[in-house]
Amino acid sequence: MVNKVLMTGSYPDWSIKDINNDGLKDFLINWYPLSGCCMRNIFDLYLSQTDETFSPEIELANPTFFLKEKLIRGVTYGHPGLASLYKFKWNGLKLDTLEYIYPNIKDTLQISFVKSNRISYPHSKHNQSKNIKSIPKEYKTVLGLDYFKSYSLKDIKIISKNYDN
């Protein structure tokens, strides 16, 4: 479990707590890679199973845990303007993807967003996405929200050139 983290040269922190609200104590390793371009506070989760073993590793970037709701909200790895907000829900030992929220690259005023069920930017007409006017209130306490919102108009113009508009 721990070898991967120790090999990065990072200084890991670990904790034991019930992260998926199933009544069993889980093992969490929190570490920050020493290289890379963008914010990435990594959590490796090992969920306790009833047979006293652990689940395979679940790795999350920049999560904020909402234990009572059985939700994880966070910010994906990527440059501002490309990174998204995400929301996952625990379903036993697995995470269901509920949504991703991206800056709307067609909005030159930078005041609207796109909600999608896909991890990649929802530029396809076949993608189930919806324009929204603001970031939902439920994301206001997500660690890294300021990073997500730190993109500029110049960033959006560069990004939009790489997608079909």
Across 140-144, average pLDDT: 96
Q: How far apart are CA 1 and CA 13, in angstroms?
A: 13
CB-based contacts of 122: which residues, under 8 Å, 6+ apart? 100, 102, 114, 116, 128, 129
In one-letter notation, the amino acid at residue 90 is W
Tokens of 63: 């999560």
In one-letter notation, the amino acid at residue 82 is L
What own/partner pairs with CB < 8 Å and gap ≥ 24 does 144-150 have?
144/39, 144/41, 144/62, 144/64, 144/74, 144/75, 145/75, 145/85, 147/39, 147/62, 147/75, 147/80, 147/83, 148/75, 148/80, 148/83, 148/84, 148/85, 149/80, 150/80
The pLDDT of residue 123 is above 60: no
Report DSSP state, residue 52.
S
pLDDT, the chain, mean: 86
Q: How far apart are CA 133 and CA 114, in angstroms?
A: 9
Q: Name the β-bridge partners of 85.
A: 75, 101
CB-based contacts of 37: which residues, under 8 Å, 6+ apart? 79
pTM over cut 0.95: no
pLDDT tens-digit map of 50-77? 999 999 999 999 999 999 999 999 999 9
Across 116-132, average pLDDT: 72
Across 132-139, average pLDDT: 95
The pLDDT of residue 164 is above 80: no
Q: Where are the domains of the chain?
A: 3-161
The pLDDT of residue 125 is above 60: no
Alpha helices in the chain (DSSP H): 3-7, 145-148, 153-161
The pLDDT of residue 96 is above 70: yes
Tokens of 154: 């110049």
